[in-house]
Amino acid sequence: MRILPMTGDLPSVIAATAAELAPRHLAAWCRVLRATDRPSQTVEAALLESRPGYALSGIARRLVTAWSHSGASGESVALALETAGAIRREQSVQRSTIAVSGPVSDAVPVRLTSQVALEVIREATRSLLIVSFAAHGVSEIVTEVARTADRGVRVDLVLETSVADGGTLDGPGAAAAFRSLRDRPGVRFWHWPQDRRSILGRSRAALHGKLIAADERSALLGSANLTDRALAQNLEIGVVLREPSTVQSLVRHFQSLMNPHNGPLSRLS
């Protein structure tokens, strides 16, 4: 557990305490604080007894000591501690986490790419953006996207096309995996036309990004294509983003690329 630097003043102590206590501990301590008006050794003991069996004596003593120099009421300290805890939980929700396919590690906590992909799709309430180089199989993904569109969510699928259609895939274009959604209301297919791609020698620029973003709030960004093998068997790595400002920037970048007036992407007919 990382201990925050302390200054001894009550606000700093409360912030550190909220960061160090588990939610149940914090709730129990707030109940104790509300039951008293002034700090004392008795209150310190009551804090420890509210959740026995944990080594929290140093944290309890620090809180009671800072409280004794503040003149605040027990109700005020409890309210401040609850507020700091709520802010801490909200920050925790917005942290980035890792998603993997293939071999897993016990060194750090990870999520499986296949499950995270479905989770992010299900979170969409207004818009869903999916970008992939290749797509094949992934029946669960296709089914979930269909359900999302049926909820009234606008779905944009930005997918690479075959060599024959001006893309870089040797086989069928990635849109083939989503053929069942072609006539579904609210679902739009996008591609990168050949005449808008740069060419280096004999190589054509590829639509190689992989992204699933819901409502500009959450996203899965990583190396895995939307194929059964990539989502489950290949060694792939990704990041689950729940930082709205970052996800918004990703989504708006693609919205700019899809601009019908000057964007390089075009609706796939």
How do residues 41-74 score in pLDDT, each as one tens digit?
A: 999 999 999 987 667 888 999 999 999 999 899 9
24: left (phi over 0), alpha (psi -120 to 50) or beta: alpha
Q: What is the pLDDT of residue 53?
A: 65
**What average pLDDT does the chain have?**
91
Average pLDDT of the residues in 233-237? 96
Q: What is the pLDDT of residue 8?
A: 62
Q: What is the pLDDT of residue 20?
A: 84
Confidence bin at 94 (pLDDT 50/70/90): low
Amino acid in the structure at residue 72: A
Check whether 252 has a pLDDT greater than 50.
Answer: yes
Q: In angstroms, rounded to a whole number, what is the distance separating the alpha carbons of residues 175 and 184?
A: 14
Confidence bin at 25 (pLDDT 50/70/90): confident
CB atoms within 10 A of CB 207: 22
Average pLDDT of the residues in 193-209? 92
Check whether 7 has a pLDDT greater than 50.
Answer: no
Average pLDDT of the residues in 71-84? 94
* pTM beyond 0.85, yes or no: no
- Please give the order of strands across the beta sheet that includes 111-112: 111-112, 97-101, 236-241, 218-222, 211-214, 127-132, 154-159, 187-191, 266-267
Q: What is the dihedral of CA 126, 111, 113, 238, to 10 degrees?
A: 90
Confidence bin at 152 (pLDDT 50/70/90): very high
Q: What is the pLDDT of residue 52?
A: 75
Check whether 109 has a pLDDT greater than 90.
Answer: no
Check whether 91 has a pLDDT greater than 50.
Answer: yes
Q: What is the pLDDT of residue 51?
A: 80
